[in-house]
Amino acid sequence: MEMNSLVTIIFAAVTLIAFLVTFTYLMGGLHKKETELVRSGARDEEIKKAFEQKKSFVHKFGKAFNIFIESLFSLVLVVLIIGGLYTTYMNNDIQLFDIDVKVVATNSMSEINTRNTYLVENNLTNQFSANDIVFFDKLPAESDLKVYDVVSYYDSTNDRLVVHRIIEIVDNDGANGYILRGDANPTSDNKVLSYSDLRGIYNGEKIENLGIVVKFIQSPFALIAMAVVIYVLFIDDCFQKKLKRLEKERYAEIQSREEMLSQRAQERYEKQLEDQLIKDVRANHYEIVEKNEKFGFRLYDSEGELIVASSFYSDSEVAEQRLRQISEMIDNKQFEIYRGSKGSYQIKFFSANNRLMFVSETFKSMAKTKLVIKELKTLSKEATLLVGTSIDIKEADLISLETNQVEQSIQPDAENAAAV
């Protein structure tokens, strides 16, 4: 092997290896980035959309079609590589059943040389050119071979397959000898051939110029290029499968999370319905609550919201009497509106001797507070007792005082509250 050829082969091998390593590294980096995006949730919407589309017939058909095309493409590449290697070492000889397929290498049969008058005289027009693909049948019996048949034989001197026409059959040591000449050549081949030297007979069929493709496939560059393509497809397929598995796991997490959120939303909705039901039942009612054998009242407005809760008394009748006194307290101006440090408002009711009797719930605005006062005046007289319900009254919600009445008068706090 010449030094230049060796250097070329080594350079090509190093370049190819460098390309494959670089490509694999880049694909690995891209896969790592995509993996991080999937795990971080940045691809959640795309993953959801993709998995939802998978359920459609169009997507399933498209996926099956893509798999078919990719598999067919890979198979064709493998066949071409194997075929290129095979034909390279078989002198361009492709065997299809009993038919040999050959690529014409020269123009020795491409035209009629003027010296070969027998071609015109016998109307022999089955010529073919370089890069044509020609088809050969199995060589017939020796007795069936005749002058002007186009046959092939192996030229060991030049290490190639030759396709020429028989122009004369002569005696060769008691056997038939065959003299061949290309239609474009002015002279015959320099060897008389025997029957055993012949390979096949041209059947007249050809495909023009397609041999260029075959020669390209047989070239080292094409074989390497196709091998690289197969490697690229294989690496990409490996990374895509890993990514698909990760996306499938992520989709399962998304579904689990959405189911949990949906369940919580349903629970909140049911809680809201329950709360609304309780409010509807409580609207314009009061209830008597018991704690440590003492009794207090809780008064609700027209929307079922608690507005006043009393302290606890010795019996329920006293609690109801205190409820009915609210209207009188309002008429006698025995209440004050306080504004807390956080901007909320509260109504405090006092007895005739200025002792604290009740404290309302807090309200966000003065307007709301004044509306509550008007509603309290009516509810104090007209609210009905809430009985026979299964509403669970939480003790923590009750406003409890330790004694029946506050012994001291509570004055407004100059720092945290201001009387309005």
- The domain ranges of the chain are 3-89+219-252, 95-211, 283-419
For residue 93, what pLDDT is reported?
56
Mean pLDDT for 272-281 is 88
Across the chain, what does the average pLDDT equal? 84
Evaluate the CA torsion angle 37, 42, 43, 48 in order and state its sign. Answer: positive
Whether 86 shows a pLDDT value over 50: the answer reads: yes
pTM above 0.85, yes or no: no
pLDDT (average), residues 53-70: 78
Q: What is the pLDDT of residue 83?
A: 67
Q: Determine the Cα–Cα distance for residues 253 and 123; give it in Å rounded to an integer.
A: 80
What token pair was written down for 411? 């004055």
Q: What is the pLDDT of residue 411?
A: 37
Task: Band the pLDDT of 260: cuts 50, 70, 90.
Answer: very high
Q: Residues 6 or more apart from 259 whose CB is under 8 A from it? A: none
Tokens of 99: 């038919």
Backbone φ and ψ for 139, nearest 5 degrees, come out as: -60, 130
Measured between alpha carbons, how far is 333 from 327 in angstroms, rounded to an integer? 10
pLDDT band for position 417 (50/70/90)?
very low
- The pLDDT score that the predictor gives to residue 88 is 61
Q: How far is Cα 113 from Cα 84, in angstroms, rounded to an integer?
A: 34
2.30.29.80, 3.40.1190.20, 3.40.50.10190, 3.40.50.450: CATH of 283-419: 2.30.29.80
For 236-245, letters b (16+ CB in 10 Å) and e give eeebeeebee
Q: Indicate the fold that domain 95-211 takes in CATH.
A: Umud Fragment, subunit A (2.10.109)
Nearest Cα neighbor of 214 from 79, 75, 99 is 79
- Residue 116 tokens read as 């070969």
Chain centroid, CA 297 distance in Å: 62
| d(C-alpha 219, C-alpha 92), whole Å | 12
| Strand partners of residue 402 | none
Give residues with Cβ within 8 angstroms of 348, minimum separation 6.
335, 336, 338, 356, 358, 359, 360, 410
pLDDT tens for each residue of 367-408: 999 999 999 999 999 999 987 544 444 443 433 333 333 333
Phi-psi region of 383 (alpha: psi -120 to 50; beta: other; left: phi over 0): beta
Model pLDDT for residues 200-255, shown as the tens digit of each residue? 999 999 999 988 887 777 777 777 887 888 888 889 889 989 999 999 999 999 99
Give the lowest-confidence range in 209-213, 312-316, 342-346.
209-213
Cα–Cα distance for residue pair 412/315, rounded to 1 Å? 30
Residue 413 has a pLDDT of 38
At residue 214, the pLDDT reads: 78
Higher-confidence residue: 56 or 21? 21
Q: How far apart are CA 270 and CA 279, in angstroms?
A: 14
The predicted model gives 130-138 an average pLDDT of 92
**Phi, psi of 39, deg, nearest 5:** -70, -30
The reply to whether domains 95-211 and 283-419 share a CATH topology is no
**Closest listed residue to residue 380, CA positions, set 310, 309, 322:** 322
Dihedral sign from CA coordinates of 137, 139, 144, 145: positive
Strand ordering across the sheet containing 294-300: 384-385, 285-291, 294-300, 306-310, 356-363, 345-350, 335-339, 418-419
- What percent of the chain is predicted at pLDDT more than 90? 53
Map tokens 């997490």 to a residue: 253
